[in-house]
Structure 1
């Protein structure tokens, strides 16, 4: 009994090991699964993974379950089978007529391909009262059948297809075109009629209630057969010890007729005969060796087995040794798993410390409860959410890192930010962003959902903002959604309100330090969301500025901050002024297409306004959608925001109030403020190219005036 137990245990272990290390059915380094469906070579997903272009397979994993298609013939695949009865199961359309809520006539045409419908495993079905259904594309052969009418049912008693409201017939061999036409018997009522090509075994076994099932189905499964052109096989010869290839048929692939073959593993082998060394020996002795050899010892040989008689003590010794090796293997495996688990724990602890976990804890404790509780995600959760940070999930890249789109287990779509490198400076910025975003609660600021510190690089998890960045909509000519003037004004107001909140309404005043159109995201309703707080800083209430190394983006950077390294809330105001000019002009902040003195959009816009040429730089789409007075008011605000003297710039609260006023004027149909009704625009700025002096003057155009004076932002009079 003990010997039999040990023998059975050893057999099960060896069988498990054999299954675990069986050869792949796909080409080396190529995907062998799409969802739960195996993809055997000669089919394949991706470049160099299929035998030739006819056998290319696409896998759309964004659907659930994933959608598998044969690219060359544009047919959706249900599964593949690779044995002595190879086939591809595909979706075959149901052709219908006079059926409520459905009327389909789409057929299949795979002429010119190596694929065809199997004549032996498929059949043609027609259902419906007094239905004559014929296959088209089989001329001169006529293929079809005729059904009677019993109680207006699609199928007869017991759901059979015996000619009573349902009929079936065989199909021609190597069929490549399928469609159907219907005829009704004279003086008979028209009812729901169906015709389709279906896998015979599936139809007989799986469809029990045919009438209700088929009326609610768009397709049924059918089996495709194929041949492989001899020159495409890629094997050194048509027969080897492990496999053999046999001629299949002469197929017509325009413009030639080519001989085709199919390959199979020899008896005693299993695997994929289309791969080099793809057929592996079957160890028949693992399958009930006593039944094969009785008291003799079953010995496996390539392609077969033989029975050898040996002494009992040799068998016992072999079993004992095998059991000992088995115990060592199991013990070693458990030890490996234990050490690996401890190593992963230590590694996560190391990453937590290296990624600023202790710094985050210190920030949280020093903030005295001002930081909201942030969810700590595991690396496993985020790997699953982002498909192991697949390149196809990348939403964008910047100086702070790469952002991936992901979906959490609860179905929420999120954006996962992964830092590019790990060093002291980047870790500090990462922890700084966590701390700052945890304190922010505003509808126009992107929301932080959590973070992960147990990975090689730190991760942040944000709410997902679906409509990209403001920069894309302003400067990418391929965008189909043009931003209207009203939308631009609203976005400007929302940005201003978010910055005003950061500067004055947050629990601790926060300076963003990198305001730019590419850091303004747009949600599903095209509302602005301020993002990317990697270089932001919070300050004490009694502080007026922050002295740091210069951070920011060229074209948006405050010249006063660049010279002094002292960042104030007015530095964010300057960057906001550049964004305002972008909204007015749809021009990039830096462009080498402009003259040298105007390569900076800020300088270019101020020069244009000083030279009485404001409307030469305003986007034509803006001038068509609004009155000139509104443009002048926004330009006035931008002009003040771009003053080289920070003290002469408005606060973000004042800018938000001014934009709110302009929006209310636009919506008020009783207020007229066109170009002739604006008397003069009064502005107080310092020339951007001369930070040491302030000049006064005015530039008026057709009743509009820019003057270098203080309040108000703009004055107007109504006729």
Structure 2
């Protein structure tokens, strides 16, 4: 009901506004939309205009000099100052332009001017009917120059020669005094004057002038001796082809019953004659029509019927609009419920209940919040794409920078993975694991919101040639240690053991201090403490599966090569792990070490990490160390003292350290590692056991 009355009120306001505009001619636009229509006290109608794209063409460009007081208006291309444009909407056209026309003088102290006007090539010309040529002075014979073959001019008498002009005649012309006047030719585009008397008697003047102005001012005409300009009227004509009409006369006018500016598109407006004179039809009803009006007898019932129908239609429209909004909102709610169910919302609720508060700090974001944060998921905000979805950079309303993961279209098999990632990340609290801030389930595809890690992935810094900052050996060791500690935390310190199942360099992110952050838990699994393995369609997964994947990452850090070798690097196999194992068994592992770190690291450090990676890549899952052991061993490698001599020849060191060419270490069974156990001489097992 409130909406209904509001719409009625708006309708009445618009109606009153229309009436006010119709009754006030100044409200009708005279310039192009967005253009200034005044310069000081001068109104500038189209086709004239001030500023770019505000005039018809360059002939009609107007300059407004507001530095002067009052401001001056100038038609730029003909360089003539405008006094005013004769635009009145009721006249249905722009009649003429009143400009300053020069006064040509001779023998007039202290000035003598000989200014000329040349409008050739322009659409402008002096108005034949509204201007006249005037010569003034005692015995002055003046002619208009440059008009061939016609001679136009006049000769004045010398009455009361002590003054410039004699007394005007009864018709207020100067034919009876010391001035004369005559008509000018049609379409006059130039003005110049010559004086025929070689020995003039006093000051002689000649000028083109607005006839009405001159007739009105003749009694004070003695002032003209010191006047440089007088008002004159310019007319103009536009080519008929511009308007595509055969009866076009060079000027545009609004049709009868309309007013406005005919040069503007839709510039002519209907005149409401009934509003101008309410008693126009007497006792009958005045009805306005386009361009005219009619008088009709009193038909109150028609008005009542019209109002009733209008009110009914308004109610119908408003009711339909409200019904549409209600149905749209209901459909949106149903759609969000559908997405919530399809994205595993109920499964997430069950998980939240079963974990008793471990998910309480996980925020449920609305789709509107994340649309705003990511600029409607603008492609310019994409941080990366993977097998499970696309990650966008976003900023929340509180200013926090986040990473929003938009999963791919959900199918029944992937719903469990998505909910699993939410549950697992909500239980993890480790400095080297990406923190989950929340999720959104009311969109077509589910969304996860993580803390933003600014420096990309470890994969980029190891393999992307465009990176300008290669990771030094010390940073690589620290990243390996931090990653191992995070995985060890998942395996042994989390409330429920968690297997990541997708450890790789693309899932290890680097923060602003290049500290490691393990991410992407979509395929992870958590198991109860009494379970020893988790069976999937492919194979059996234990914590030793993550150890193998971490071993591949260690090899990447050592060699700088991708997990899948290029054809140039590969010999028998394109697998980096297989290539590395072969190099170890053939005692040539130092040949494949990344040249960017070879000179930074001690050979002992390289070999200890290499043998640790070799043990992680053992074909026998039982012979691989645990992630706790891996983390401890990397911790022991980190603080090795640096050599003081920076000029040590590392290649020469390879030959001196003979024990590095002993047999490869047999996988340790103890719960801890030492340097001696890592370099013990025993051959590698070649048992064919499952790669788990």
Residue equivalent to 2:193: none
Output one character per residue of 1:633-671: Cα deviation in whole Å (capped at 9) or x when no partner: 111111111111111111111111111111111569799
Is 1:433–2:425 an aligned residue pair?
A: no
Q: Deviations over 1:406-449 (max 9, x none)?
A: 11111111111111112111111110000000000111111100
CA gap of 1:679–1:481, structure 2 versus 1, over 3 A, is closer
Contact preservation (8 Å) 1:491, 1:527:
yes
CA contact (8 A) 2:369 2:396 kept: yes
Q: Distance in 1 between matches of 2:473 and 2:406?
A: 35
Shift of 1:315: 3.5
Q: Are residue 606 (structure 1) and residue 594 (structure 2) matched? A: no
Distance 1:8 1:296 in 2: 26
Q: What is residue 522 of structure 2 aligned with on the other side?
A: 534
CA deviations on 1:343-366 (whole Å, 9 max, x unpaired) are 111221121111111100111112
How many residue pairs get matched? 440
Query: 2 CA distance for matches of 1:570 and 1:395?
Result: 31
Confirm or deny that 1:707 pairs with 2:669. Answer: no
Instruction: Give, in whole Å, the separation in 2 of the partners of 1:714 and 1:448.
Output: 38
Tell me what 2:478 maps to.
Answer: 490
Residues 2-37 of structure 1: CA deviation (Å, up to 9, x unaligned): xxx998653547899xxxxxxxxxxxxxxxxxxxxx
- How far apart, in 2, do the equivalents of 1:345 and 1:566 lie? 42
Q: Is the 8 A contact 1:7 1:319 kept in 2?
A: no
Q: Is the 8 A contact 2:485 2:631 kept in 1?
A: yes
Structure 2: gaps (5+ residues) = 1-5, 18-33, 35-47, 69-240, 246-259, 279-284, 680-692
Which whole-Å deviations, capped at 9, do the CAs of 1:229-266 have from their partners, x for residues lacking one? xxxxxxxx96689xxxxxxxxxxxxxxxxxxxxxxxx9
Pair 1:580-2:561 in alignment: no
What is the match of residue 412 of structure 2?
A: 424
The CA deviation string for residues 280-329 of structure 1, in whole angstroms up to 9 with x for no partner, is x68968x9998578584555x6xxx6555554443333232222111111
Contact in 2 for aligned 1:546/1:568 (Cα 8 Å): yes
Residue pair 2:615, 2:667 contacting (<8 A) in 1 also = no
Q: 1:392 to 1:238 in 2, by over 3 A?
A: farther
Q: Which residue of 2 aligns with 1:625?
A: 600
Q: Taking structure 1 as reference, are residues 283 and 666 closer, same or farther at Cα in structure 2, changes over 3 Å only?
A: farther
Contact 1:10–1:323, Cα closer than 8 Å, also in 2: no
2:320 alignment counterpart: 332
Aligned partner of 1:362 in structure 2 is 350
Distance in 2 between residues matched to 1:288 and 1:713, nearest whole Å: 103
Deviations 1:49-73 (A, max 9, x none): xxxxxxxxxxxxxxxxxxxxxxxxx
Distance 2:604 2:637 in 1: 10
TM-score normalized by structure 2?
0.57
Aligned-partner Cα distance in 1 for 2:277–2:550? 86
| Partner of residue 404, structure 1 | 392
Decide whether the 8 Å contact of 2:587 with 2:661 is kept in 1. Answer: no
Do the aligned residues in 2 keep the contact of 1:420 with 1:457 (CA within 8 Å)?
A: yes
Q: Please list the CA deviations of residues 131-174 of structure 1 after superposition, one character each: whole Å capped at 9, or x if unmatched.
A: xxxxxxxxxxxxxxxxxxxxxxxxxxxxxxxxxxxxxxxxxxxx
Give the counterpart of 1:320 among 308, 315, 340: 308
* Aligned 8 A contact 1:679 1:703 in 2: no
Task: Please name the residue that 1:648 is paired with.
Answer: 623
1:665 aligned counterpart, secondary structure: coil
Computing the radius of gyration over CA atoms, which structure comes out larger, 1 or 2? 2
Aligned to 1:442: 430
Determine the structure 1 residue equivalent to 2:381: 393
Q: How far is the alpha carbon of 1:510 from its aligned partner?
A: 0.2
Query: Would you say 1:591 and 2:565 are equivalent positions?
Result: yes
Change (3 A) 1:522 1:477: same
Q: Give the corresponding residue for 1:503.
A: 491
- Give the direction of change, closer, same or farther, for the CA distance of 1:324–1:268 in structure 2 (3 Å limit): farther
**1:433 and 1:534 in contact (8 A); partners too:** yes
Paired with 1:640 and 1:269, the residues of 2 have a C-alpha distance of 89
- Say if 1:326 and 1:676 are closer, same or farther in 2 by CA, change over 3 A: same
SS of 1:707's equivalent?
Answer: coil
Distance apart, 1:340 and its partner CA: 1.2
Contact 1:629 1:674 in 2 (8 A): no
The equivalent residue for 2:11 is 10
* Structure 1 match to 2:591: 616
656 and 338 in structure 1: CA distance in 2 versus 1, 3 angstrom threshold = same
* Contact kept in structure 1, 2:382 and 2:390, CA below 8 Å: yes
Relative contact order (C-alpha < 8 Å, sep 6+): which is higher? 2
Aligned to 1:634: 609
RMSD of aligned residue pairs (Cα, Å): 4.0
Distance 1:656 1:308, change over 3 A: farther
Q: Deviations over 1:472-493 (max 9, x none)?
A: 1111101111111111111111
The SS at the match of 2:664 is: strand
Sort the Cα spacing of 1:309 and 1:613 in 2 relative to 1 into closer, same or farther, 3 A: farther
**Unpaired segments ≥5 residues, structure 1:** 17-39, 41-82, 89-113, 125-236, 242-265, 271-278, 551-564, 681-699
> Judging changes above 3 Å, is the alpha-carbon distance between structure 1 residues 315 and 578 closer, same or farther for their aligned structure 2 residues?
same
What residue in structure 1 maps to residue 168 of structure 2?
Answer: none
| Counterpart Cα distance in 1 of 2:598 and 2:309 | 90
1:340-379 matched pairs, under 5 angstroms: 340-379=328-367
Q: For the residues of structure 1 that align with 2:364 and 2:412, how far apart are their CA atoms?
A: 21
SS of 2:522 mapped into structure 1 = coil
User: Which of 516, 541, 544 is 1:570 aligned to?
Assistant: 544
Matches of 2:541 and 2:7, distance apart in 1: 77
Quote the Cα distance in structure 2 between the aligned partners of 1:87 and 1:10. 37
